[in-house]
Amino acid sequence: MKRYVIWGAAGFALAALAYTLIEGPWLFDGDRFSTTLPVSAGVIVTGFRTMVIALLAGVVATVGLYYQDRNHRLAREQFVHAQEQFSQQHAQTLQQFTLSENQFRHAEEQFSATVAKDRMQAEIAREGQVTGRYVEAIKLLGSDNLTERMGGVYSLERIMRDSDKDYGTVVEVLASFVRNEAVPKPGNPWIDVEVMGSELTSSGIALPEDVQAVLTVLGRRAVSASGPVVDLSVERVIGNRLFGLSLQRANLNGANFSMAMLNRVSLQRAKIAKADFGGADLSGARLEYANFRYSCLESADLSSANLKGAVLIGANLRGANLSGANLTGADLAGADLTGANLFWTELAKVNLSRSVGVHTWRTEVERREDDRLSDAIGLTVDQLADTQVYRNTVLPQYLEGDSRLQGIVDNCEEMERRREARSTEAD
């Protein structure tokens, strides 16, 4: 019904518009028409019809503008509404994200706490197991049965490898075992080994198997600059079957290694002052920067040994075999090299002096006799070219007339005088 009304109104409007356009000029301006002036009548009709069409166009434009403005305001309201909805959704999303983030952090804290708790419990359980193993190993180490003592030694080695916390303790325990057991005791005699024939004519002392096992374990431990020092400062022979032993930075002060077999041992930076290595076999040993101050190395075999930077102040090297050894930078002040074999020995920058001012800590050396190289075997001027040789250094007679040696001595004396002069000026 509404549709018919609209169509009827539209038809009526079109009819009215047609009637107005056709009859309007005569209805509104008929009294102005004149039959004698057709042009004027045409102008009036055209003008009237143009006015009507213009009015109609204005009405249509007004209606269009009205509806356009209405649509624009509606669209703006919709945009504002959509913006408000977006802001609300954004705020809700942000709130949900914050809530989720807080939940995640809480879950992460709970997880971290759980992991830390589990780790702590695992560490406690592990330490309990290690403590139990340690107690059992100590019991075995103190047993009267050799087999049980051996088992205790290797159990302690396993603990030393597995637990960094117990590493130092195990090293100290094993070193203490060696110090205690390295001395023959009543009821626990060592085996005297008579070595006859052309090889050796003196007797040695064989280590008990458990002490040998401890030294082997200590020798293959992981060594670091900050690690514990192995204290094996015993006063008796501690073995003669220690091939390839590794005891870097160990404390062997006063130890007795006489006649020991120490081929290719590693004793870098070890403390070996006043120790006895008489007749020991140290061939191929790694002895860099080791401190042999006042130690006995008489008749020791040091062939091809590396003694770079070693301290041999006042050491007894009588009859020692130093052939092929590396003594670069070693300190031999006050050392006794009577009868030592120095064939192919590297003596670059070796200190053979006992003069004051060379090193400030040589006060004890000053009271000893002159350096004795008079009976050294194989010593050449070339070996002494870069050493500290002074007039008080006793050298073999066959070198005394060598002009090159005299030049080396003169240079050393001149350098010594300059050092003393600088020291005097500084004072």
DSSP 69-91: HHHHHHHHHHHHHHHHHHHHHHH
Q: Which residue, among 161, 270, 146, has the nearest Cα to 212 in the 3D structure? A: 146
Q: What is the DSSP letter of 144?
A: S
50, pLDDT greater than 80: no
Q: What is the pLDDT of residue 309?
A: 92
234, pLDDT greater than 80: no
Q: What is the pLDDT of residue 189?
A: 45
What does the mean pLDDT of the chain come to?
A: 76
Provide mean pLDDT across the span 335-358.
68
Contact predicate 44/51, CB 8 Å: no
Provide mean pLDDT across the span 60-68.
83
300, pLDDT greater than 90: yes
Provide mean pLDDT across the span 409-420.
80
Provide mean pLDDT across the span 372-384.
62
Please give the Cα distance from 343 to 321 (Å, whole number).
Answer: 9
What percent of the chain is modeled with pLDDT above 70? 71
374, pLDDT greater than 60: no
Long-range contacts of 376-382 (CB under 8 A, 24+ apart): 376/337, 376/338, 376/339, 376/340, 376/341, 376/342, 377/339, 377/340, 377/341, 377/342, 377/343, 378/323, 378/341, 378/342, 378/343, 378/344, 378/345, 379/342, 381/405, 381/408
Contact predicate 247/268, CB 8 Å: no
